[in-house]
């Protein structure tokens, strides 16, 4: 926390009786691409708007670069924002939009124009300065919004679902471009999104939020491989869960009694759950499950549905005694529905989570 | 609500400087900043509407004794309003006239609003709407006066028909009666009916009508089961917006009403400007607003009930 | 969606427009009629009534009074409407709906009641009747219109435009002038024109509050008692109607301009 460039201390925001953000602590490092990820209504946008200064926290402090900014209005903060709606001023042309924040910078007119030209080149819209705002496409508006914020050289760039309004291909192209721009300018980015793939592919670190609370802060790999609770595991990618009771540890491998489907093994066990008899949840990703012909040792089930996706197939395997079918991602196999199979995995691939 | 929660928190944090505490509190509270912006308007409304209405209510409980105003509380004025036959008749007539005006205006306006909402292309809609609203913004006095010259003994209709040789004696029944008042008011308030009805019709999701057709409704039952209920807020809004002010209209009954068309406002005006019995005028005004309010509430409920039955 | 056709409804709409406009058109028609009697058959074309109207000093002073009151009312009620519309659309206000209801109350109170109650108030505080009292009454009935027109304008553009300006370093005041004002300008112009017309045409409240200073509608009301002056009143009425219509068309056009601008500005 001490090396944090943006420090969020115990922040709470209540709207009337509703708590939108609930005692959140966060540290964001200098130059980091940091994402706030969560379903709509989880408080991620409210948290971003508190960093920007559009909402004042009900409790807590926010520091940027060591300076408390909690009571500063947006125009006094070293941050700039890219809005979800882009908020391109409709009565100004592209160049005037980008130059909007430079009026108070003390730069000469020539310097300002140079900055605008530079920004237009950066977003690959050179010579478009005289365009009217309503003549721009969605992708162009998004870039102008980005340039308008970056041209002020803020310490922090805040992005509120900036890619949400774009179609899938444009969005993917912009993800790469945004990441490149961030690398070039070296500014700290705080990025709000509800799209987990987007967050995983772009971020240095991600905070997963739900109901106003931060569930886990980690880099994308850790978040995917080692989620710390069922909600995070469920929100990021697909995950199979097996309820069970801890039997005991054999070395560093835990043995779990999963009732009707027998004993399961996993290596990644939080210390708090190692006590025999603990209620636990074993989580395993579909692609970590190996599928064998019927008769081989493992969990016995029957393929109930299969979707062929080209590079891989997604199968649903029903197992007696389990309410939900097990999701399996297979590389090559194209087992028809009705085939009997048996499922296994390496203890390394499975995670033990607390059962709520 | 939000501001109360903030008071608590900031109170703990900035217990030092009161000014700093207040400014922080102020800047952080949306409600306080919003109400600061609202305050001039609300103050003007309080001073120019709420305070005068309160005084009007007070006056209605007082007595005018010659040139002296007796400020002792009394219900005598109201007793007079309710017991004197001329006043009672006046109330009935006023409410009857404005009910009739409301019904006529809304019924005439509905097809017009329906046409603009459903049968006019988006481009020309704007032109139609301007055409329909222009009369509403222009001089009320002159629009009423126009009817006086149309309906008069030597007016447009009579002289026109005589010039054409259709009649030889002017009709006397055209001006100075209830019908003249109804026609004139229905004309003067037309735009008030069209706009709310149009807005509520325009809001109806067209796919609802397609869904109703798809589920087997013909045009008539579709209108009765979907369009009419969904446009009801507009119809009720229009009716209230016409009924309430027309009951208190002064210009129309004075210009075209004659002795048959006298309405409450005429009598109130007489009490204030001619007789100088302000408490009596105030009581008449209060009683008429109460009567209008009661009739409005009852009929709005009745209409809602009636339409909910047709579903 | 191409407009469907319904000739019955179209015919009805044309008749309805005729019902709205034809009665009023008799005013200009007879104002050019060379006869002191307002009756058919028409007696020939003349502009002498307009000449008499222009020569009337009482009319001039009434007109000047109405212009003064109208201009002041337009400015004040639009300013009040601007503040209220911003507050009601841009802040989370507990009880905002109730305040909006309160500010639209003048639409639901008969003018005569507004007039006499203001008369009582002014009498109670011993304020002499004058054009200022007329102005007060007119601000009351014009403010709801200003608020409605301006609120729809504020609702028409994204709140984040103002936030973006704050975020880019402008304070509340400069944001108003650089972003809010240019964007609500069509609404402001429209509100100024409409409130001016409402005040300019208002008779009853002014009748109770004007004291000895007549406004134009009060002047006209006075003239209606004299049959021989009717043609002059018709001439004056025709001019007022034409000017009012032109102003309304401009106001609605400006407002529509803003709204169609919104459509292309939106995503």
Q: Do B27 and A56 touch (CB under 8 A)?
A: yes
Q: Do B1 and A16 touch (CB under 8 A)?
A: yes
Strands (E) in chain B, as ranges, are: 63-65, 68-70
Return the CA Rg of chain C: 22
Residues of A with CB under 8 A from a CB of B: 14-17, 56, 58-59, 71, 73
Distance of CA B14 to the CA centre of its chain: 51
Q: Write down the pLDDT at residue C178.
A: 93
Q: Write down the pLDDT at residue B311.
A: 59
Chain B CB contacts of C147 under 8 Å are: 41
pLDDT score of A145 more than 70 = yes
Q: Do A71 and B27 touch (CB under 8 A)?
A: yes
Q: Do B248 and C111 touch (CB under 8 A)?
A: yes
In A, minimum Cα distance to B24 occurs at: A71
In this complex, which chains have at least 3 CB pairs below 8 Å with chain B?
A: A, C
Q: How many residues can be counted in chain B?
A: 311
pTM above 0.90, yes or no: no
Residues A14/B2, Cβ–Cβ less than 8 Å: yes
- Which site among C28, C89, C110, C250 would you substitute to test the B interface, given the most B Cβ atoms closer than 10 Å to its Cβ? C110
Alpha carbon of A72: minimum distance to chain B alpha carbons (Å): 10
- Joined tokens for residue A165: 């309004």
Q: Do B5 and A71 touch (CB under 8 A)?
A: no
In C, minimum Cα distance to B237 occurs at: C108
Counted across chains B and C, CB pairs separated by less than 8 A come out at 261
Chain C CB contacts of A51 under 8 Å are: none
Q: Do C27 and B138 touch (CB under 8 A)?
A: no
Q: Write down the pLDDT at residue B166.
A: 84
C261 touches chain A (CB under 8 A): yes
A351 touches chain C (CB under 8 A): no
C150 touches chain B (CB under 8 A): no
Range from A280-289, B31-40, C31-40, C146-155 carrying the lowest mean pLDDT: C31-40
Residues B231/B200, Cβ–Cβ less than 8 Å: yes
How far is residue A317's CA from residue A323's CA, in Å, rounded to a whole number? 11
Report the 3 state secondary structure along chain A. Answer: CCCCCEEEEEEEEEECCEEEEEEEEEEECCCCEEEEECCCCCCHHHHHHHHHCCCCCCEEEEEECCEECCCCCHHHCCEEEECCCCCCCCCCEHHHHHHHHHHHCCCCHHHHHHHHHHHHHHCCCCCCCCCEHHHCCHHHHHHHHHHHHHCCCCCEEEEECCCCCCCHHHHHHHHHHHHHHHHHHCCEEEEEECCHHHHHHHCCEEEEEECCEEEEEECHHHHHHCCCCHHHHHHCCCCEEEEEEEEEEECCEEEEECHHHCEEEECECCHHHCCCCCEEEEEECHHHCEEEECCCCCEEEEEEEEEECCCCEEEEEECCCCCCCEEEEECCCCCCCCCEEEEECCHHHCEEEECC
Closest CB to C169: pick one of A104, A134, A141.
Answer: A104
Q: Write down the pLDDT at residue C205.
A: 94
Closest CB to A58: pick one of B6, B24, B27.
Answer: B6
pLDDT band at B14 (very low <50, low <70, confident <90, very high): very low
pLDDT band at A1 (very low <50, low <70, confident <90, very high): very low
pLDDT band at C137 (very low <50, low <70, confident <90, very high): very high
Mean pLDDT of chain B: 85
Alpha carbon of B140: minimum distance to chain C alpha carbons (Å): 7
pLDDT score of C44 more than 60 = yes
Closest CB to A14: pick one of B2, B24, B27.
Answer: B2
DSSP-based three-state secondary structure for B64: strand
In B, minimum Cα distance to C217 occurs at: B141
User: Which DSSP letter does residue B167 get?
Assistant: -
Q: Write down the pLDDT at residue A2.
A: 58
Q: What average pLDDT score do residues A207-212 get?
A: 94
Quick: pLDDT tens for A166-181: 888 888 888 999 999 9
Quick: pLDDT tens for A310-323: 778 888 999 888 88
Q: Do A75 and C92 touch (CB under 8 A)?
A: no
Q: How many CB atoms lie within 10 A of CB A310?
A: 5
Q: Write down the pLDDT at residue A3.
A: 75
Chain A CB contacts of C261 under 8 Å are: 90
Percentage of residues of chain C with pLDDT beyond 90: 49
pLDDT score of A330 more than 90 = no
Q: How many CB atoms lie within 10 A of CB B306?
A: 9
User: Which DSSP letter does residue B294 get?
Assistant: H
- Joined tokens for residue B5: 């929660």
Alpha carbon of A243: minimum distance to chain C alpha carbons (Å): 45
End-to-end CA distance of chain C: 21
How far is residue A24's CA from residue B158's CA, in Å, rounded to a whole number? 83
Quick: pLDDT tens for A107-139: 889 999 999 999 999 888 888 889 988 889 888
pLDDT score of C76 more than 90 = yes
Chain C CB contacts of A101 under 8 Å are: 168-170
Q: Write down the pLDDT at residue B153.
A: 78
Q: Do B9 and A56 touch (CB under 8 A)?
A: no
The residues, any chain, with a CB within 8 Å of residue C71's CB and separated by 6 or more, are C196
| Bridge partners (DSSP) listed for residue A27 | A7
Q: Do C157 and A133 touch (CB under 8 A)?
A: no
Quick: pLDDT tens for A254-308: 888 888 788 888 887 887 888 888 889 999 999 999 888 888 888 888 888 888 8
Alpha carbon of C96: minimum distance to chain A alpha carbons (Å): 14
Distance of CA A223 to the CA centre of its chain: 9
Q: Write down the pLDDT at residue B310.
A: 65
Residues C192/C75, Cβ–Cβ less than 8 Å: yes
Alpha carbon of C166: minimum distance to chain A alpha carbons (Å): 5
Q: Do B248 and C113 touch (CB under 8 A)?
A: yes
Q: Is A26 left (phi over 0), alpha (psi -120 to 50) or beta?
A: beta
pLDDT band at A21 (very low <50, low <70, confident <90, very high): very high
pLDDT score of C260 more than 70 = no
- Which site among A12, A59, A75 would you substitute to test the B interface, given the most B Cβ atoms closer than 10 Å to its Cβ? A59
Residues A189/A174, Cβ–Cβ less than 8 Å: no
DSSP-based three-state secondary structure for B72: coil
Q: Do B2 and A56 touch (CB under 8 A)?
A: no
Chain C CB contacts of A134 under 8 Å are: 264-265
In C, minimum Cα distance to B278 occurs at: C120
How far is residue B25's CA from residue B30's CA, in Å, rounded to a whole number? 10
**CA nearest C88: which of B7, A197, B31?**
B31
Q: What average pLDDT score do residues A200-228 get?
A: 94
**CA nearest B145: which of B247, B254, B10, B69?**
B254
Q: How many CB atoms lie within 10 A of CB B271?
A: 21
In this complex, which chains have at least 3 CB pairs below 8 Å with chain A?
A: B, C
Alpha carbon of B1: minimum distance to chain A alpha carbons (Å): 5
Chain A CB contacts of B27 under 8 Å are: 56, 71, 73
pLDDT score of C258 more than 70 = no
How far is residue B106's CA from residue B242's CA, in Å, rounded to a whole number? 9
C253 touches chain B (CB under 8 A): yes
Handedness of CA C54, C59, C65, C70 (dihedral sign): negative
Quick: pLDDT tens for C236-254: 888 988 888 888 888 888 8
Buried-state track A24-47, b at ≥16 Cβ within 10 A, e below 16: bebbbeeebbbbbbbeeebbbbbb
Q: Write down the pLDDT at residue B6.
A: 44
Percentage of residues of chain C with pLDDT beyond 70: 94
Chain C CB contacts of B158 under 8 Å are: 39
Beta strands A188-193 and A156-160: pairing type?
parallel
- Joined tokens for residue A221: 């790999």
The residues, any chain, with a CB within 8 Å of residue B14's CB and separated by 6 or more, are B20, B21, B24
Q: How many CB atoms lie within 10 A of CB B83?
A: 9
In C, minimum Cα distance to A89 occurs at: C161
Q: Do C166 and A84 touch (CB under 8 A)?
A: no
Alpha carbon of C169: minimum distance to chain A alpha carbons (Å): 4
pLDDT band at C4 (very low <50, low <70, confident <90, very high): low
Alpha carbon of A127: minimum distance to chain C alpha carbons (Å): 21
Measured at the alpha carbon of residue B147, what is the angle toward residues B194 and B259, in degrees to the nearest 5?
Answer: 110
DSSP-based three-state secondary structure for C125: coil
Q: Do C88 and B38 touch (CB under 8 A)?
A: yes
- Which site among A46, A74, A139 would you substitute to test the C interface, given the most C Cβ atoms closer than 10 Å to its Cβ? A74
What value of ipTM does the predicted structure carry?
Answer: 0.84
C-alpha distances (whole Å) from B199 to each of B107, B195, B204, C142 are 16, 6, 9, 21
CA atoms within 13 A on the CB side of A148: 32
Alpha carbon of C88: minimum distance to chain A alpha carbons (Å): 17
Q: Write down the pLDDT at residue A93.
A: 92
pLDDT score of B3 more than 80 = no
Q: What average pLDDT score do residues A77-90 get?
A: 92
In A, minimum Cα distance to B7 occurs at: A58
How far is residue B52's CA from residue C116's CA, in Å, rounded to a whole number? 9
In this complex, which chains have at least 3 CB pairs below 8 Å with chain C?
A: A, B
Residues of B with CB under 8 A from a CB of A: 1-2, 5-6, 9, 24, 27-28
Closest CB to A80: pick one of C168, C171, C265.
Answer: C168
Chain C CB contacts of A73 under 8 Å are: 166, 171
C107 touches chain B (CB under 8 A): yes
């Amino acid at each position: 926390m001490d090396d944090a460039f943006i420090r969020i201390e115990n922040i709470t925001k209540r709207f009337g009786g509703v708590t939108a953000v609930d005692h959140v602590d966060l540290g964001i490092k200098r130059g980091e691409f940091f994402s706030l990820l969560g379903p709509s209504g989880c408080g991620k946008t409210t948290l971003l708007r508190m960093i920007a200064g559009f909402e004042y926290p009900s409790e807590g402090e926010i520091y940027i670069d060591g300076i408390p900014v909690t009571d500063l209005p947006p125009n006094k903060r070293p941050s700039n924002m890219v809005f979800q709606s882009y908020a391109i001023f409709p009565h100004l042309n592209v160049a005037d939009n980008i130059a909007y924040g430079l009026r108070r910078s003390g730069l000469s007119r020539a310097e300002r124009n140079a900055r605008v030209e530079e920004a237009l080149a950066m977003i690959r819209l050179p010579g478009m300065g005289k365009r009217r705002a309503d003549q721009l496409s969605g992708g162009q508006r998004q870039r102008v919004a980005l340039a308008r914020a970056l041209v002020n050289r803020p310490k922090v760039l805040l992005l509120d679902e900036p890619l949400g309004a774009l179609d899938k291909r444009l969005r993917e192209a912009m993800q790469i471009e945004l990441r490149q721009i961030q690398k070039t300018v070296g500014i700290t980015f705080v990025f709000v999104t509800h799209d987990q793939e987007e967050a995983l592919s772009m971020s240095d670190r991600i905070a997963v939020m739900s109901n106003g609370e931060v569930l886990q802060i980690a880099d994308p790999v850790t978040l995917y491989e080692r989620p710390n609770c069922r909600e995070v595991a469920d929100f990021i990618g697909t995950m199979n869960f097996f309820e069970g009771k801890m039997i005991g540890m054999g070395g560093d491998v835990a043995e779990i009694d999963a009732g009707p489907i027998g004993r399961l093994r996993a290596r990644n066990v939080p210390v708090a759950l190692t006590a025999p008899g603990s209620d636990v949840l074993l989580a395993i990703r579909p692609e970590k499950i190996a599928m064998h012909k019927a008769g081989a040792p493992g969990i016995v089930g029957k393929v109930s549905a299969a979707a062929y996706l080209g590079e891989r197939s997604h199968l649903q395997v029903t197992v007696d005694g389990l309410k939900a079918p097990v999701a399996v991602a297979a590389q090559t196999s194209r087992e028809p529905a009705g085939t009997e199979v048996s499922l296994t995995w390496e203890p390394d691939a499975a995670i033990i989570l607390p059962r709520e | 609500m939000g501001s109360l929660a903030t008071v608590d928190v900031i109170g703990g944090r900035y217990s030092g400087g009161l000014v700093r505490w207040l400014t922080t509190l102020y800047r952080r509270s949306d409600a306080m900043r919003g109400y600061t912006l609202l305050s001039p308007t609300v103050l003007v409304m309080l001073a120019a509407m709420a305070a005068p209405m309160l005084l009007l209510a007070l006056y209605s409980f007082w007595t005018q004794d010659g040139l002296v105003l007796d400020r002792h509380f009394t219900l005598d004025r109201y007793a007079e309003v309710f017991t004197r036959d001329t006043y009672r008749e006046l109330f009935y007539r006023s409410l009857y006239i404005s009910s009739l005006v409301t019904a006529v205006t809304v019924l005439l306006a509905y097809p017009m609003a329906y046409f603009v909402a459903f049968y006019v292309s988006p481009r020309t809609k704007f032109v139609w709407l301007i055409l329909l609203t222009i009369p509403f913004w222009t001089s009320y006095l002159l629009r009423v006066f126009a009817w006086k010259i149309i309906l008069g003994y030597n007016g447009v209709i009579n002289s026109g028909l005589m010039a054409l040789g259709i009649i030889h004696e002017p009709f006397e029944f055209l001006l100075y009666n209830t019908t003249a008042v109804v026609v004139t008011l229905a004309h003067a308030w037309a735009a008030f009916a069209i706009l709310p009805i149009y807005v509520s019709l325009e809001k109806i999701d067209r796919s609802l009508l397609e869904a109703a057709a798809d589920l087997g409704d013909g045009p008539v039952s579709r209108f009765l089961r979907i369009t009419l209920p969904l446009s009801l807020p507009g119809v009720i809004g229009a009716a209230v917006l016409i009924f309430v002010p027309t009951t208190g209209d002064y210009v129309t009954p004075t210009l075209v009403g004659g002795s048959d068309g006298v309405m409450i406002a005429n009598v109130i005006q007489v009490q204030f400007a001619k007789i100088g019995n302000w408490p009596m005028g105030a009581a008449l005004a209060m009683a008429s607003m109460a009567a209008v309010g009661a009739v409005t509430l009852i009929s709005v409920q009745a209409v809602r009930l009636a339409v909910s039955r047709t579903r | 969606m191409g407009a469907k056709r319904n000739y019955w409804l179209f015919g009805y709409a044309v008749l309805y427009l005729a019902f709205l406009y034809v009665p009023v058109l008799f005013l200009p028609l007879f104002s050019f009629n060379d006869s002191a009697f307002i009756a058919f058959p028409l007696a020939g074309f003349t502009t002498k009534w307009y000449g008499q109207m222009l020569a009337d000093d009482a009319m001039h002073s009434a007109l000047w009074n109405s212009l003064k009151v109208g201009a002041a009312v337009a400015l004040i009620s639009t300013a009040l409407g601007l503040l209220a519309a911003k507050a009601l659309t841009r802040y989370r206000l507990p009880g905002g709906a109730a305040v909006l209801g309160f500010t639209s109350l003048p639409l639901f109170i008969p003018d005569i009641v507004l007039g006499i109650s203001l008369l009582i108030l002014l009498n109670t505080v011993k304020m002499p009747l004058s054009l200022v009292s007329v102005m007060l009454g007119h601000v009351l009935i014009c403010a709801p219109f200003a608020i409605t027109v301006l609120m729809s304008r504020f609702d028409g553009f994204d709140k984040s435009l103002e936030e973006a300006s704050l975020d880019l370093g402008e304070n509340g005041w400069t944001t108003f002038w650089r972003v809010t004002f240019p964007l609500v300008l069509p609404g402001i112009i429209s509100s100024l024109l409409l409130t001016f017309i409402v005040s300019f045409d208002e008779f009853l409240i002014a009748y109770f509050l004007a004291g000895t200073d007549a406004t134009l509608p009060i002047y006209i009301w006075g003239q209606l008692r004299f049959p021989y002056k009717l043609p002059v009143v018709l001439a004056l009425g025709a001019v007022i109607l034409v000017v009012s219509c032109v102003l309304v068309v401009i106001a609605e056009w400006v407002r529509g301009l803003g709204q169609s601008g919104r459509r292309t500005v939106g995503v």
